[in-house]
Amino acid sequence: MSVVTKGFKVMLQPNNVQQTRLFATADAARYAWNWALARQMESIENTGKYISERNLRKLFTLHKREPEKKWLYNVSNDAAKQAIRDACEAFWKFEKERKKPGYRPYSDRQIAKAAEEGRTLTRYEMHSHPNFKKKGKAAPGFYIDTDKIAVTGSHVKLEAIATSKRKNRRRANWIRLAEKDRIPVGAKLVNPRITFDGLNWWIGVGVVQNVEPVETDDEFLGVDFGIREHAVRSDGVRVPNINKTRAVKSLKKKVRRLKRRISRKYRMNNEEGEYNKTKNIIKAEKQLKKYEWQLSGIRSNHRHQVTSDMIRQKPRCIVGEALKVSNLMKNRHLAEALAEMGIAESLRQLKYKSERAGIEYIEADMFFPSSKLCSGCQTLKTDLKLKDRIYVCINESCGLVIDRDLNAALNLKHYGETNSSNHTVRLTEI
């Protein structure tokens, strides 16, 4: 039995009063983030040292006592406290990245532009520097302490949502969950966060659970993720591409048409070089967010179903590829299809689900030629092109003719078998 932290993300259904309080708490967290960033930048420029998180929180407590900042007492203190902690961690990561060898804070274009404007670039104008969160553009969200959150089968209790001390009014602290019995009741919660995606409020929380490993068989499973098909497995199972289904194509068509409609409305309301956002534009943009949310949900659900089905096969070992998707995205002809498929996310899910179930997961080397290697005789075909969907072995004594993706999946399976027995894969190049 192993102890794992499983993440849950459930949509909230707040009423109007609760929604107003959620936005107020998110505004307090955003204000605390910006305040902490400004204090750190001032301290570095003046003294060359950072302010510790503990001292920053003390200074923020004194800052709240100012008459015009009394509104910060109407929301949960944990939201501002965690925002200051997140700002400090962002600064530490920024400094760690800046000290790496070969780090370039500015591009030639940035230096030339600054010189034309007659200003000197400061160290905090680097592209990796933590940014201020602008109201209306930054995604609203905040943290709730685990000691001040309670979960039932249908509701979640958050602190300081209801300000009244009357017992019947305190019920407003309980916000309805869109999915009943989704989050385990009574379990240990980790890092609960409340976020708003432009349409709905969500709660994301980690739950500490005890997981027993599954009883596996002696089979190895190689998985090759692609574009034409979402995945091809070494046992012959082919998972279709969800983006080629009628439902996804219809949604994508609606998104394209709605984007053109919004663009036309912006051009029609262009007054003296400034775009005027009308109520119809706001309504159309909200509808666009709904379509994009539906698309994202369909694709995410499909990825989870695909990876979970592989775990349910209970193989002894699952073998995947170590793909550098960011490099593949540089191909402008494939970038959109790769982004829609979410191959990196599928590999990430397959890895953590395997580890959670007690199934060995092997990641093939990035330079392992799974597509160019013959799964029958291990001959390497160096001139294989992307358009070649059927693999034909160049070894006359073998002559294997097989689907390219299935061949790659079989090679990944062989890679796992040889890696588990501490043998190396031999390549014979002709």
Residue 384, in any domain of the structure: no
H-helix or E-strand spanning residue 384 = none
Quick check: 381 and 324 in contact, CB under 8 A?
Answer: no
Q: Where are the alpha helices (DSSP H) in 146-278?
A: 246-268
Amino acid sitting at position 407? N
Angle CA 6–8–11, to nearest 5: 180
Residue 362, in any domain of the structure: no
The beta-carbon contacts of 66-71 under 8 Å, at least 24 apart in sequence, are 71/28
Residue 133, in any domain of the structure: yes
In 3-state terms, what secondary structure has residue 61? Answer: helix
Number of C-beta neighbours around residue 162 at 10 A = 18
For the stretch 112-122, pLDDT in tens is 787 788 776 65
Range of the domain at 87: 2-210
Report CA-CA distances (Å) from 367 to 1, 64, 322, 371, 372.
35, 56, 9, 11, 11
Average pLDDT over residues 78-99: 86
DSSP 185: T
Residue 147, in any domain of the structure: yes
For the stretch 347-404, pLDDT in tens is 999 999 998 888 899 998 888 888 888 888 888 888 888 888 888 888 878 888 888 8
Residue 356, in any domain of the structure: no
* Distant-in-sequence, close-in-space partners of 368: CB < 8 Å, separation ≥ 6: 321, 411, 415, 425
Residue 220, in any domain of the structure: no
Count of domains in the chain?
1
Residue 253, in any domain of the structure: no
Residue 269, in any domain of the structure: no
For the stretch 178-221, pLDDT in tens is 999 999 988 899 999 999 998 999 999 999 888 888 888 888 99
DSSP 152: -
pLDDT band at 324 (very low <50, low <70, confident <90, very high): confident
